[in-house]
Structure 1
Amino acid sequence: MAQSDDIIINSNKAIDSSCKNTIFNGIFPQDVKEKYQLKEVLGQGTFGIVRRCQDKDGNNHALKTILKSKVPDPKVLKREIEIMRQVHHPHIIRLFDVFEDDKNIFLVTELCTGGELYDRVVEKTVSNDLFSEYDAARITRNILSAVEFIHSKGVAHRDLKPENFLLEDESDEAAVKIIDFGLSRFHNDKGLMKSRVGTIYYVAPEVLSAPSYTTKCDVWSVGVVTYVLLCGYPPFNAGNERLTYDLVTDGDLKFPSPAWDHISPEAICFIQRLMTRDPDKRPTATEALQDPWLNQEKVQPQGFDKKVTFLPRKYHSTESNEDKQVKYTDTEKQRAFQKFLKRFKNRKE
């Protein structure tokens, strides 16, 4: 198990010195077209495009092209790729191949056609058809099994949220896959980390305020995701990052009416366990997987009396938390918040 952020990628391939401006010292082949046939574009992001590609046996994959000139920190990209090459699991996006030429890094991954879990939540919430407890438990079980696996490999994800899960296909029973290991890292011998990273609505309180934290930060995030699956919005969400920061660090978890009126006590208890503020009392991913709520029989989803709007990615707000007034009398807390914001805006170590 790696014990630091230094990345060592082993390869039997001869180094190709013809590739200039290399990030990986020429250990990966340059020409993706020698092995894959490029098909239609599926999407476009900040660093490049994603298209469908096909191997020589006719199998479809996703090809992510990353423009090296837009990569802010090559070391972070190297770490992300090395982690993805080591974590093969049914509920983690599979990385098949890496290519590098003078201008681009090419990642060939498993092709998932069901879209982001975030979009599925929005779709269901808008149509007033939230996930049943059975479906929410199934998805959470998928996620926790993957989290248990990466933790066994000495890896913390540190940015688990609905936007970072893909659905294998468009069916209601589609498997969920973890993606985006950009904030992930190998932890040290003691399992401790110190960097203030993550997404404010899903980050564990100890990541914001404690001197160090462990992989249990991911368990908290899974609890938040489960909360979102069942009601359509995150538990701590004020009108701005400052107020949300305070709500997270206070950790006063609530299950307001009417969204939670028809949710079982077992589901609420499960979320409370995962979102225990004291990480020493919080279960590990392995322990969380033993919870009886995750192993329930399928039942018909219960009705939901009031339509809840799942708010946009960049702004979450609910009536129950908007009116909470916060007085900033703790200088250390203010400084911690400012330090987090500085790191949070960068989003990458």
Structure 2
Amino acid sequence: MPRKGYMKGVSGTAPYMSPEMLTNVGYDTQTDIWSFAATTYIILFGDCPYSPKEATAAAVKKAIIQASPEPIWARPEKIAKHYSQPPQRATEFCRYLLKRNPAERPSAKQGLQHGFLNIQWGSTKRAEEPLLDMPILQMRSFANQFKKLRHDPTIQRNLDEVLARLAAAGPSIPNRMDGDATEDANHSQRHCFTEAPPVVK
């Protein structure tokens, strides 16, 4: 990510791409908040937020750009027959993150302070240190530092707790189910596909 300005270009997997990325107006780190929000939506509701009938990358991108069909903010009927809806605070947390206008999305720090998580965080000194205010020649050193930080037990423990809270609020769908629930799980898998990354020559 550049120190100033915005990035352009499309990368990633269609269901997690932000509107600003797909419309090529330029994006910054707020696109990552959108991607995390899409992941949160899938955990909570068992389907992608923008889930057109045609399960192709092009159709999903078009749905995100046009905001249609809109997220239903509920578990699909066939899953809801077997599992209750997520807690209201969990849904509020997802809505808080999934803002189409990047200027309206919270920062990562603000998101972590949402009442749904209610986590007592450890020291935030490292998290508050500027990561991009450094010459380009120091990027290799920064990458090496990141390798060490990502194994930090405090960071890992906090991340595990966030994921555990989301998993507890989301649909606990077993690998083997009967009837309609199996069909709906397959529907979700068809929508939440992966794309091969572009070949760089």
Alignment TM-score > 0.5, same fold: yes
Amino acid of the residue matched to residue 241 of structure 1? Answer: A
**1:204 counterpart (18, 39, 58):** 18
Is the 8 Å Cα contact of residues 12 and 197 (structure 2) preserved in structure 1? no
Question: Alpha-carbon deviations, 1:57-84, whole Å to 9, x = none?
Answer: xxxxxxxxxxxxxxxxxxxxxxxxxxxx
227 and 266 in structure 1: CA distance in 2 versus 1, 3 angstrom threshold:
same
Amino acid of the residue matched to residue 209 of structure 1? Answer: T
Equivalent residue of 2:39, what SS? helix
281 and 255 in structure 1: CA distance in 2 versus 1, 3 angstrom threshold:
same
279 and 347 in structure 1: CA distance in 2 versus 1, 3 angstrom threshold:
farther
1:289 is aligned to: 112
Is the 8 Å Cα contact of residues 51 and 191 (structure 2) preserved in structure 1? yes
The normalised TM-score by structure 1 is 0.34
Matched, 1:253 2:37: no
**1:229 counterpart (43, 50, 57):** 43
Is the 8 Å Cα contact of residues 203 and 217 (structure 1) preserved in structure 2? yes
Q: Please give the alpha-carbon distance, in whole angstroms, between the structure 1 residues aligned to 2:47 and 2:170.
A: 18
Segments of 4+ moved more than 4 angstroms: 300-306, 310-313
Is the 8 Å Cα contact of residues 16 and 38 (structure 2) preserved in structure 1? yes
1:213 is aligned to: 27
Is the 8 Å Cα contact of residues 22 and 65 (structure 2) preserved in structure 1? yes
Question: Alpha-carbon deviations, 1:286-315, whole Å to 9, x = none?
Answer: 1111111112797x87987972415586x4
Matched, 1:316 2:191: yes
Q: Please give the alpha-carbon distance, in whole angstroms, between the structure 1 residues aligned to 2:46 and 2:36.
A: 15
**2:60 counterpart (238, 241, 244):** 244
Q: Which structure ranks higher in relative contact order (CA pairs < 8 Å, sequence separation ≥ 6)?
A: 2
1:262 is aligned to: 85
1:242 Cα deviation from its structure 2 partner? 2.5
1:255 Cα deviation from its structure 2 partner? 1.8
Question: Alpha-carbon deviations, 1:238-284, whole Å to 9, x = none?
Answer: 32222211211133322244346521221111111111000000111
Is the 8 Å Cα contact of residues 207 and 217 (structure 1) preserved in structure 2? yes
1:346 is aligned to: 198
Structure 1, unpaired ranges of 5+: 1-186, 318-343
Is the 8 Å Cα contact of residues 45 and 171 (structure 2) preserved in structure 1? no
Query: RMSD over aligned Cα, in angstroms?
Result: 3.3
Q: Which has the larger radius of gyration?
A: 1
Amino acid of the residue matched to residue 197 of structure 1? Answer: S
Q: Please give the alpha-carbon distance, in whole angstroms, between the structure 2 residues aligned to 1:310 and 1:249.
A: 25
Structure 2, unpaired ranges of 5+: 120-160, 174-179
Q: Please give the alpha-carbon distance, in whole angstroms, between the structure 2 residues aligned to 1:312 and 1:205.
A: 21
2:133 is aligned to: none
Is the 8 Å Cα contact of residues 204 and 221 (structure 1) preserved in structure 2? yes
More helix by share: 2
1:195 Cα deviation from its structure 2 partner? 1.7
Q: Please give the alpha-carbon distance, in whole angstroms, between the structure 1 residues aligned to 2:86 and 2:94.
A: 11
